Amino acid sequence: MKTFIAKRLLSSLATLLVLSIIIFALVRASGNPAELLYEYPGAREEDIARQAAAWGLDQSWPEQYVSFVWNIARFDYGQSFQYGTSVRSLYFDRLPNSLLLAFWAFLISMAIGIPLGIMSAVKVDSLWDSVGKTFALLGLSVPSFFVALLLVLLFGVKLEWLPFLGKAEGFFDWQHLILPSLSLGWFFSGAMLRLTRSSMLEVLGSEYIKLCRLKGLPEKVVIVKHALKNSFIPVLTLAAVNLVVMINVAVVVEVVFSWPGIGRLLYDGLINRDFPLVQGVVVMAGVMIVGTNFIVDVLYGYLDPRIRLTR
Amino acid sequence: MVTATKTLLKVTDLYAQFTGFGGTRVVRAIDGINFTLDQGETMGLVGESGCGKTTTCHAIFRLLPPAGDIVSGSIEFDGQDLMQLSDSEMRSIRGRDMGMILQDPMASLDPLFTIMDQVAEPAHHHRGVRGGSLRERVVELLRSVRIPSPEIRMREFPHQMSGGMRQRIVGAISLSGGPKLIVADEPTTNLDVTIQLQYLNLLRDLQQETGVSLVFVTHNLGIVAKMCDKVAVMYAGKIVEQGSVRNIYNNPRHPYTQALIQSIPRLGNKDPLYVIPGQPPNLAELPTGCAFHPRCPFATEKCINEEPPYVSFGDGQESKCWLSVEEAKNG
């Protein structure tokens, strides 16, 4: 187990290093943020240069990269260009909102995807299966902004049942949560459904399930105890990655619903060439993905003795 | 102890088929088979791949794959017709009164549950054995299939066992419900040759201890001679010849059986091994008349056009061949 953790830590660090290089280069490919100042009347070349120097952009790329990484190592993501405050505080201000939205969207995607996936697989080629497959296709192919707009149009504008802009104060504000978490969860439920279905189908076709049936076990025991547990490993992986994606990059849904979350922060950063902000959000997302994958790997051990005992 | 032999399993005119491509293609996997099995008796079911042996096994359990269906016939088991039972009645018979051993020991155990858990299931669900006595039952079962230190090994998982051990555990599972019949579908095909003999001896000992009947599927006639009281030879979904092992070996009447016996490798024989010419027929497009005629050295015009009937001989041997018809006629 110790060597397993050490190996995982090492490969996680390598992953994050690669991620930091990519995001560092990508944001810089978007252009010089100081040039946005040309929009101000009377902005001169030396004003732009001065601003760029103030943001440290006059240094060479390697120099900038080293200081970027060095700062990350000390959990300092720098000052946001546009807000002038630290990226870390911006991120953690928004994080609770994103967690709230992602949590409900995650629950919705699981609550729809997993049971429907199981039903589709158990009753393969039946009406259930057609419903499931259609749902998965819609979930995967209808863009979430479109679903979001439809929901806004129906429940927000036509029926006026639910608010659809922003977020009210207070933790138990469920009205503002429903539409964004539905549109976010919808998209991910399709993927969950498909994976649960295919994974279940594979297990249901196996010899050991055949033997379970030959043993005369009740169908409930065959499905819930044997088939479900065996088909859960890939589903767990996807679910964990989905959760992190929902927390950090729910850009479209957060923008449509003006949800004050991290996705919108990222969007603001991208639009305004706010390098430290974009870099900070992406690196945080990377850290979260790496961390969740680590937790999932440990969870595998609980699910599967083959993994547990070979570590 | 001498008891009057009682018929345990009687399969009459059983037909099963697989339907594919929206019902346009029908494969008659079992095409009207008849056999009986007495208590404590062992029947070998032999034939080439794809002749319907495995389908016959699954039909006894009434568990065919989704595309398969038992069309007609009756399966009388222990005094009741299985075809008349409801699904839940049938389920309570599976695992309790009949157990199955599958071909591939590496795949037939659930990787996520302990040996204890899997061996206990039939006893738990069908016989209501619980707690300490369930544990004792599992230990006893594992000991009977010669798993060393069963109290320790039962807490382990399938991946920690060798193929031979896993197949013995599958054997323990099949015995767990206290069955009257065990169907073993090529149980030694995926084992090492050295382990095969060991496993066969084990099965025979278990049968003598518990008195279960055994349906033993194989394509190895040598194993049949060792294990079985009687044999049914299958070809293209039909039983072409059956009878006691002694009769079938000493006096095979059907040309297919003769060919099978001829193709057993013999120690010390330097001649090239006899191979039956041609291939088993496609069950979706069976030859006319006798299905074996394209490969039969004795085939006549009659064999091509007409299907031979079953001919019974006095000693219980039964053959489905025009030659046997002649033989019976001439006495």
Q: In terms of residues, how long is chain A?
A: 311
Rg of chain B on CA atoms, in Å: 21
User: Do residue B112 and residue A207 have CB atoms under 8 angstroms apart?
Assistant: no
Closest in B100, B112, B125 to A229, CB measured:
B112
In chain B, the N- to C-terminal Cα span, in Å, equals 39
Helix (H) or strand (E) holding A189: helix A175-204
State how far residue B18 is from chain A, nearest Cα, in angstroms.
17
% pLDDT > 90, chain B: 71
ipTM of the complex, rounded to two decimals: 0.89
Which residues of chain A fall below pLDDT 50?
A: none
Question: Strand order of the sheet with strand B42-46?
Answer: B98-101, B181-185, B213-218, B42-46, B230-235, B238-244, B318-319, B311-312
- Interface probe, candidates A201, A211, A299, chain B, greatest B C-beta count within 10 A: A211
* Bridge partners, B184 (sequence order): B101, B216
Where are the domains positioned within chain A? 92-264
CATH superfamily of A92-264: MetI-like (1.10.3720.10)
CATH superfamily of B7-97+178-330: P-loop containing nucleotide triphosphate hydrolases (3.40.50.300)
Name beta bridge partners: B68.
B18
Token digits of residue B269: 């024989």
Pairwise CA distance, residues A190 & A195, whole Å: 9
Residue of A208, A228, A236, A302 to mutate, testing the B interface (most B Cβ within 10 Å of its Cβ): A208
CB B90, CB A213: distance < 8 Å: no
Nearest to A184 by CA among A66, A100, A265, A295: A100
Q: Name chain B contacts of A216, Cβ cutoff 8 Å.
A: 91-96, 122, 125-126, 177
Decide: B57 and B44 in contact? Cβ < 8 Å: no
Shortest distance, CA B203 to any CA of chain A (angstroms):
18
The residues facing B70 across adjacent strands are B16
Which among B63, B110, B126 is the nearest to A208, CB-wise? B110
Q: Does the distance separating the beta carbons of A216 and B94 come in below 8 Å? A: yes
Q: What pLDDT, on the 0 to 100 scale, is given for residue B3? A: 53
Cβ–Cβ gap B112/A303 under 8 Å: yes
Contact predicate A267/A251, CB 8 Å:
yes
> Would the pLDDT of B4 be above 60?
no
Count residue pairs from A and B with Cβ separation < 8 A.
78
Which residues have CB under 8 Å from A98's CB, separation 6+? A247, A248, A250, A254, A261, A262, A263
d(CA B201, CA B189): 15
pLDDT of residue A53: 85
Domain ranges of chain B: 7-97+178-330, 111-175
**CB-nearest partner of A304 from B66, B91, B112:** B112
Test A206 with B107 for CB contact under 8 angstroms. Answer: yes
Pick among A203, A215, A236 to test the B interface (most B CBs inside 10 A): A215
Q: Which of residues 280-309 of A touch B (CB under 8 A)?
A: 303-306, 309
Mutation for A interface: B98, B112, B153, most A CBs within 10 A: B112
Instruction: Using the CB atoms, write b or e for A50-84: b if 16+ within 10 Å.
Output: ebbeebebeeeeeebbeebeebbeeeebbbbbbbe
Please, which pLDDT band fits residue B2 given cuts at 50, 70 and 90?
A: very low
Q: Cβ of B159 and A306 within 8 Å?
A: yes
- Per-residue pLDDT tens for A2-38? 777 788 888 888 999 999 999 999 988 888 888 877 7
List the single residue in A206, A216, A230 with the smallest CB-CB distance to B95.
A216
Whether B108 sits inside 8 A of A211 (CB atoms) is: yes
pLDDT at B20: 80
Q: Tell me whether residues B126 and A221 touch, CB distance under 8 A.
A: no
Q: Which chain A residue shows the shortest CA-CA distance from B124?
A: A217
User: Rounded to the nearest 5°, which phi and psi values hold at B33?
Assistant: -105, 150
Is residue A77 within 8 Å of A276, Cβ to Cβ? yes
Partner residue opposite B173 with nearest CB, options A215, A229, A305: A215
Q: Is A140 exposed, middle or buried (0-12, 13-18, 19+ CB in 10 A)?
A: middle
Report the SS3 class of residue B85: coil
Closest partner residue to B91 (CB to CB) among A206, A216, A305 is: A216
| Other beta carbons less than 10 A from residue A171's beta carbon | 7
Which chain B residues contact residue A305 at CB under 8 A?
Answer: 111-112, 157, 159
> What residues pair up with B318 in beta bridges, in sequence order?
B242, B312
Strands B230-235 and B42-46 turn out to be: parallel
Selection from A74, A60, A48, A75 nearest residue A24 by Cα: A60
CA B27 – CA B244 distance, rounded (Å): 30
Answer for the pair B166, B197: CB distance below 8 angstroms, yes or no. Answer: no
Rounded (10°) CA dihedral A285, A288, A292, A294 = 120
**CA A147 – CA A66 distance, rounded (Å):** 43
HEC profile for B38-64? ECCCEEEEECCCCCCHHHHHHHHCCCC
- E strand spans, chain B: 7-20, 25-38, 42-46, 68-77, 80-81, 98-101, 181-185, 213-218, 230-235, 238-244, 311-312, 318-319
Cα-Cα end-to-end distance for chain A: 5
Q: How far is B200 from chain A (nearest CA, A)?
A: 20
| Under 8 Å between Cβ of B212 and B181 | yes
Q: Which chain B residues touch A206 with a CB distance below 8 Å? A: 107
> Tell me, what amino acid is at A66?
V
On whether any CB of chain B is under 8 Å from the CB of A214, the answer is yes
Task: Fill in the amino acid letter for A206.
Answer: S
Q: What is the mean pLDDT of residues B139-160?
A: 94
Residue in the structure block whose two tokens are 């950063």: A269
Nearest to B112 among A207, A218, A230 (CB): A230
Max Cα separation, chain B?
68
- Find how far residue B154's CA is from the centre of its chain: 28
pLDDT higher than threshold 80 for residue B160: yes
Nearest Cα of chain B lies from the Cα of A121 at a distance, in angstroms, of 13
* pLDDT higher than threshold 90 for residue B161: yes
Residue of chain B whose alpha carbon sits nearest to that of A305:
B112
Which residues of chain B neighbour A302 with C-beta distances below 8 Å? none
- The three-state secondary structure class of A59 is coil
Which of A127-136, A154-163, B58-67, B285-294 is predicted with the least confidence, judged by mean pLDDT? Answer: A154-163
